[in-house]
Amino acid sequence: MQESTGHSSAALSLAGVHKSYPHPSGAVTALRGVDLTIQDGESVAVMGASGSGKSTLLHIMGALDRPDTGTVRIGGRDLSTLSDRELTLLRRRRVGIVFQFFNLVPTLSALENVVLPMALDGADRKVMTRRGAELLELVGLSHRADHRPAALSGGEQQRVAIARAMLMDPAILLADEPTGNLDSSSASAVWSLLGLLAGRLGKALCVVTHESAVAAAAKRVEVIKDGQIVGRFNTAEINHDPSLVAARYQELAT
């Protein structure tokens, strides 16, 4: 896919993004003018309370939804200039998304879940099995390839979902409260894995979360409140300490 040589070469950038949802009792505004840039290899946590617009933001970043106004660029390309077909291809090839509730298919094995997008594309079975095995190894689940989701722990299911998100070797990994449904030790394993993939493979990583322990592992925290970014800080300044991250967050969000 051709890259534009426009002014922004960031992995992902949003400028002036607004989004509201129609509702019988009046439209609900979820995002009111969000500006956000993530460079290649950079890990960013967007931290905010429930209802602050995190999932809406993530869906727009991942081209699952379009903003009402404002610009979204992935690898420099302005998404508003793309046809639906181009958008679908870009989403499939450039962006990997991990959701809070894993979104695995219950009747498929771990390996089949990982390669499902390739299967839907009619890929060769041998090629798929090889790629699936490689990705399960990457997330430390080679020994669970034949297990269905119900036979896996929550943390293991999320690692399968991460392997699936990596299938097309995307430049950008997005995660919507990926540890929100896990106990704290599985949560830290999932976050370390995401961080490792971002670091080792140079992915741009954006995780939206309300948990300070998750946010503390990112390089930068952006604080979202009522659909607006109200502040940001680098976690290195406070030694990636979750309780200091929580304190900075409180300061900025209140």
Ligand X SMILES: Nc1ncnc2c1ncn2[C@@H]1O[C@H](COP(=O)(O)OP(=O)(O)O)[C@@H](O)[C@H]1O
Of the residues 3, 4, 6, 28, which one makes contact with ligand X according to CB under 6 A:
28
Cβ-based neighbours of 96, under 8 Å, separated by 6 or more: 164, 165, 166, 167, 168, 170, 172, 173, 174, 203
Burial grade of 32 (CB within 10 A; 0-12, 13-18, 19 or more): middle
Measure the CA–CA gap between 133 and 143, rounded to whole angstroms. Answer: 10
- Total residues at the site for ligand X (CB under 6 A)? 12
State yes or no: residue 43 binds Mg ion (CB under 5 A).
Answer: no
Residues 6+ apart with CB under 8 A from 17: 31, 33, 34, 35, 57, 60, 67, 69, 70, 71, 72
**Residue 23 interaction partner, one of Mg ion, ligand X, none, beta carbon < 5-8 Å per kind:** ligand X
Minimum distance from residue 54 beta carbon to Mg ion (Å): 5
Q: How far is the CB of 55 from Mg ion (least distance, A)?
A: 3
Residue 158 in the binding site for Mg ion (CB under 5 A): no
Which x/- pattern over 48-67 shows residues binding Mg ion (rule: CB under 5 A)? ------xx------------
Answer yes or no whether residue 101 interacts with ligand X by CB under 6 A: no
Q: Among positive and negative, which fits the CA dihedral 113, 115, 117, 119?
A: negative
Asked if 2 is part of the footprint of ligand X (rule: CB under 6 A), the reply reads no
Closest alpha carbon to 179 in 57, 16, 45 = 45
Nearer to ligand X, 111 or 218 (CB): 218
Q: Which range of residues in 2-10, 23-31, 128-136, 243-251 is near ligand X by CB under 6 A?
A: 23-31
Out of 51, 140, 199, 202, name the contact with ligand X by CB under 6 A: 51
Pairing state of beta strands 12-21 and 69-74?
A: antiparallel
Shortest gap between Cβ of 53 and ligand X (angstroms)?
4
Question: Which candidate, 248, 194, 253, 219, places its Cα nearest to that of 48?
Answer: 253
Of 59 and 159, the one with the shorter C-beta distance to Mg ion is 59
- Of 53-61, 72-80, 96-104, 124-132, the segment contacting ligand X by CB under 6 A is 53-61
| Contact assessment for residue 226 and residue 53, using Cβ atoms and an 8 Å cutoff | yes
With binding defined as CB under 6 A, does residue 50 bind ligand X? yes
> Quick one: 97 or 171, whose CB is closer to ligand X?
97
Least separation in angstroms between CB 35 and ligand X: 17
**Cα torsion for 227, 207, 97, 173, to the nearest 10°?**
120
Among 171, 170, 168, 144, CA closest to 156: 144
Binding site for ligand X (CB under 6 A): 21, 23, 28, 30, 48, 50-56
